[in-house]
Chain A
Amino acid sequence: MKIKTEAGERHVLAITVDNEAGVLAKITGLFTARGYNIESLTVADITADHALSRITIVTSGPPPIIDQIIAQLDRLVPVHKVIDLNDAGEAHVEREIALVKVAGTGDKRIEALRMADVFRAKVVDTTLTSFIFEITGTSDKVDRFIALMRECGLVEVGRTGVVAIARGSEAL
């Protein structure tokens, strides 16, 4: 017997929660306990009084599972609001930051700098044998930049994961 898995679509969820100890563990634990995917997760408090945190989760699953994830999140006591930014009519902006360290000399070093320029990546640190680039954009763009840097002496990457927000004047 083989165990079957279902293909899914990518969704970005924005969740506001009480900024309290254990809330993040509750959210991530829900995903592991129920077998949902987390592709990326970011969290930071977002209000002046530090009472609320906003969590952005990129997940994937078939539509009924996405609905179920939202309903399961929504019933957790410390969760205030859950928004699926991929919902119809909810156009949104996604950004991710990566810090990309490239080491090398000669042509590869020049090529790395040129491509960073094309991608509008900033140099935030440099030595005679290395650069650290800061790149901001969609996850796709970051992926593509990192893939190119592999050819130019990539040694280390740090990524933030996605933050996202709906377009237009309405708040979450």
Chain B
Amino acid sequence: MTEMSGADMVVQALVDLGVDTVFGYPGGAVLPIYDALYKHPTIKHILVRHEQAATHAAEGYARSTGKPGVVLVTSGPGATNAVTGITDALLDSIPMVVLTGQVPTTLIGTDAFQECDTVGITRHCTKHNYLVMDPDRLGPIMHEAFHIATHGRPGPVVIDIPKNVQVATGTYSVPEFIQHNSYRPQVEPDADAISQAIDMIAAAERPVFYTGGGVINAGPDASAALRQLVSLTGAPITSTLMGLGAFPADDPKWLGMLGMHGTYEANMAMNRADLIIAVGARFDDRVTGRLDAFSPDSKKIHIDIDRSSINKIVPVDLAVVGDAGRALDALIAAWQDKGHKARDLGEWWRRVDGWRATRCLDFPEKKEASAEIMPQRAVKALFDATRGRDPIITTEVGQHQMWAAQHFGFSAPNRWLTSGGLGTMGYGFPAAVGAQIAHPNRLVICIAGEASLQMNIQEMGTVAQYRLPVKIFILNNEWMGMVRQWQELTYESRYSNSYSDSLPDFVKLADAYGWTGLRIDNLGQLEDGIKKMIETPGPVIVDCRVAQLANCFPMIPSGAAHTDMILQPSDVTGTMDDEAKALV
């Protein structure tokens, strides 16, 4: 219990909560907190160039460490610029605390300079938010906010702090033990449900594990438990975009990602399975395809920490509410207690191998040195060149993101940072900044598209300022490739505004910011170019020119079933009915 200013309380709480890094941008309404930070050199403040980037950097920090990301921005435009990243964190369940300055309480509601209704605007894109009207409440609210952001299903929490509350003095208090009076998520799974689940798993003839970001959020132990359970049961496993890395991609039980750009074998296995074990995944529309054709003959077990995810889209036979890691541990224990033995799944695996034989991720390419680079080849070459270096990979959003998900093999969690739910172009580069801050000695690569990258390209300045060795690998096809691909699929190739016109010279741009810039023009330069990127100290931007009109396959077109995958460009008809057109 100490008397201090609100601003000092904010910083003291950050220290007490073990926060080492804050991503932010100063402004009038947070000047007292910035002044308090000035006196606290133990907290590293990373000055971004745009508040949206602060939120994505915090997401990158959080996703790569498992710790909450912290953001500090000013009122008005500072807060509104942060909204995209806050929403991104909500949809991908990323723990984040965003501190926003606000005009003094006496001016709230008067349309004051740089005033906006931050709690109103962020009410539905946060897990919870606060407007602090009394400095005595700052200590408890700061601690409660971190508790809420990191417990249960993680998410972003906003604390809006009026300037006079930052200046006024009050009593800083730390709650000894946080038990929220209403928010108490169920972490431990129900024992009966676990018992039923393990019997269903042991009895299944055609089981598939379908795992998601919840396994990553549950920590590295959850990934280890997943591996053990999969190994005990002998069942195949697929995962969502957000779940990549929880299970090693080089394991023979790995089917690859499922869904719209998932593998043929993963989607067929989901369709023909008699049991689906969903762990920390939420049956997103990118995953299910047409709902009435989604895995029609299976029983479904859904393990999720968020009860509202259960039966939201796909009705399931057995719900297990709880932390994915605890549930997996409990399943393993129940398997052993009951003396279950893995069934002979030979017939099921023979069918899976049959689907695998389509080699759905193969792509046509020319092999000579002067040939244009297929984007898939560029990702594969990057993967090959970084094996053994345990890189952290971030992506922007679009074709390059899907190619990275398909062709880059992850073998551990927290190495794959991508915007899944919100699909935010401009996420990947600042997320790489956040990951690099958290892991100064690791190789952090942002696989980018030339269009997405430009949405937060100003962060090249941040990277230069903090001398971060971030690598940006642009798959430059001069198109908003995914938009163009959909225009080919749906609108008979009427390319409305999808060409990336007037691109900068990325090599010169690198030079302007004090980075190293490289260009790779053809297949013969690919390996050396990547090697040079990795070996060059400091930040590097690689403008890798790839085949302009390559499209991302396989693909389940919107409104189609898992069994109706487009495997080849020649399967594309170029038209679609209105029902399908209306789907995103």
Contacts and interface: CB of A to CB of B under 8 A. Distances in A.
B127 A64 contact: no
Nearest to A79: B182
Interface stretch (A25-33, A92-100, A149-157): A25-33
A18 B144 CA distance: 15
A71 interface: yes
Given A25-B120, A75-B185, A78-B128, 5 more contacts: A1-B578, A22-B119, A74-B308, A77-B128, A77-B148
B467 interface: no
Contacts of B578: 1
B287 interface: no
Contacts of A40: none
A80 interface: yes
A74 B307 contact: yes
Interface string B246-288: 0000000000000000000000000000000000000000000
A71 B307 contact: yes
Contacts of A68: 308, 311-312
A115 to B, nearest CB: 45
A77 B183 contact: yes
B315 interface: yes
Interface in A69-91: 71-72, 74-75, 77-80
A67 interface: yes
Which of B124, B129, B315 lies at the interface centre, i.e. has the most chain A CB atoms within 10 A of its CB? Answer: B124
Contacts of A71: 307-308, 310, 312
A25 B148 contact: no
B182 A77 contact: yes
Contacts of B128: 77-78
21 contacts: A1-B578, A18-B182, A21-B131, A22-B119, A22-B120, A22-B123, A22-B129, A25-B123, A29-B123, A30-B124, A67-B311, A71-B310, A72-B308, A74-B307, A75-B185, A75-B306, A75-B308, A77-B127, A77-B180, A77-B183, A80-B182
Contacts of B119: 22
How many of chain A's residues touch chain B, expressed as a range? 20 to 34
B120 A1 contact: no
Which of A21, A77, A79 lies at the interface centre, i.e. has the most chain B CB atoms within 10 A of its CB? Answer: A77
B582 interface: yes
Interface string A42-79: 00000000000000000000001001100110110111
Interface in B36-62: none
B181 interface: yes
A73 to B, nearest CB: 9
A26 B311 CA distance: 23
A33 B124 CA distance: 8
A26 B127 CA distance: 11
A77 B130 CA distance: 11
Nearest to B310: A71
A69 to B, nearest CB: 9
A1 B119 CA distance: 38
Interface string B447-473: 000000000000000000000000000
B579 interface: yes
Given A1-B578, A71-B307, A26 B182 contact: no
